[in-house]
Amino acid sequence: MKDISRRSFLKIGAAAAAAVSLPNFEVFASDNKKKPLPIEGHKVTPVNEADENIEIKDPGVELDSRYTIVDSHLHYTDFLAKTDGFPALCKAMDKSGVAKAVIFGLPMAKMWDETMPSAPTYYLSNDSRCYYYSAVDHIVAEELIAQPKEIRDRFFPFCCGVNMADRFAADQIERLLKRYPNFWCGIGELMSRHDDLTALTYGEAPHVNSEAFKRVFDLAARENLPVIVHHNVSAQVTVNTDEKTDDNYLYVHELEEALAHNRQCHIIWAHVGISRRIEVRGLIKTAARLLRENPNLWIDISWVVYDYYFLDAFPSNYYDGDKMQDWVDFIEEFPDRIMIGTDKVGHWKTYPDEVVKYYKLLDLLKPETVSKICRDNILGLVKR
């Protein structure tokens, strides 16, 4: 695995420009899904050299065939635009009982600030800034196109490399749709309020009810593309546990306005609006109300919301009042509107752990509900 050099970055730009001016792609149908193939003689050189020998941890449990999963939330690159590559990812998926995955990059990249003696590895490595990195969509597209058919067929690529404080974001996405025709299966993960990441990123903070977001929602509705949005329910809180109340949902009204803007746009709310250090009571109650009132809303269970709110494993020992059975009852009430994902970021060594951790939840659900949240719901949304 290598960092992206300036030379390699220019290669991506050249390849993207060629895609506009030359008929570089033909379209084929497989499993009811259209994807582009490079025509004969069109060579794509992956920026990140794949290493199939990367160690993948064993899941530690016997895989259950009932729980074959389509990962609904997976980042191909990390915050430095590095990745272990598609071959190693498929190896990790095979070890985890994951058949397919929704795949996208990260819209932000982390700076290696001149004052920092060592390179960062994550957006929280230090207080250096992050910036929007539009090249990530070309990295995902070109590297997936370069894979053999058996790998390409396992992924549903989404585009995400736009600044959602910019009203031109929809125009930039539309150009991507034209540059890689019949390739993109959705849009996202688009960043709205994201605590520390929002604070560290250059520019104005994006809000999900902004005109920029609404223009993207309109485009998504026209193109029949689902949109994954990260939008926190509230700010990070550091007050004492007994001061937290049910109405500490500062940003939910913004999501409600976004949902009402265009009911034809299918919005997937990432992590049920939870990030690190967001501690609120009544999350199930709020999520259930939003699902009842908004038929164009879906929810993905991924990242810290499962550990914190389902397993009661808050680092701060906070307890929100809901137990695992309460979440089971919630999912059984809305079995067609919920999906699960890993939210892994570019590296696959511990990927199996992020999959089999859901077995504790899946064991408590009805078989038909398991099929829906593991596979059917996300497959019903992606454009194929």
Q: CA 199 to CA 214: how far, in whole Å?
A: 22
Q: Are 326 and 281 in contact (CB under 8 A)?
A: no
DSSP β-bridge partners for residue 75:
104, 345
pLDDT score recorded for residue 40? 40
pLDDT score recorded for residue 314? 86
pLDDT score recorded for residue 139? 96
Q: CA 90 to CA 213: how far, in whole Å?
A: 33
Q: CA 344 to CA 336: how far, in whole Å?
A: 24
How does pLDDT run along the chain (384 residues), one tens digit per residue?
A: 445 554 554 454 444 444 433 223 333 333 444 444 443 444 555 555 556 678 899 998 999 989 999 999 999 999 888 999 999 999 999 999 999 999 999 998 786 878 877 777 765 556 676 788 899 999 999 999 999 999 999 999 999 999 999 999 999 999 999 999 999 999 999 999 777 767 566 667 789 999 999 999 999 999 999 999 999 997 776 444 444 554 578 889 999 999 999 999 999 999 999 987 788 989 999 999 999 999 999 999 998 999 999 999 888 888 888 999 999 999 999 999 999 999 999 999 999 999 999 999 999 999 999 999 999 999 999 998
**pTM (2 d.p.):** 0.85
Structural domains of the chain ordered from first start: 66-379 (3.20.20.140)
Nearest to 258 by CA among 273, 275, 245, 278: 273
Q: Are 374 and 114 in contact (CB under 8 A)?
A: no
pLDDT score recorded for residue 47? 52
- 35 contacts: CB under 8 Å, gap ≥ 6: 27, 28, 152, 153, 182, 183
pLDDT score recorded for residue 46? 54
DSSP of 184-241: --EEEEEES--HHHHHHBSSPPP-TTSHHHHHHHHHHHHHT--EEEE--SS----S-G
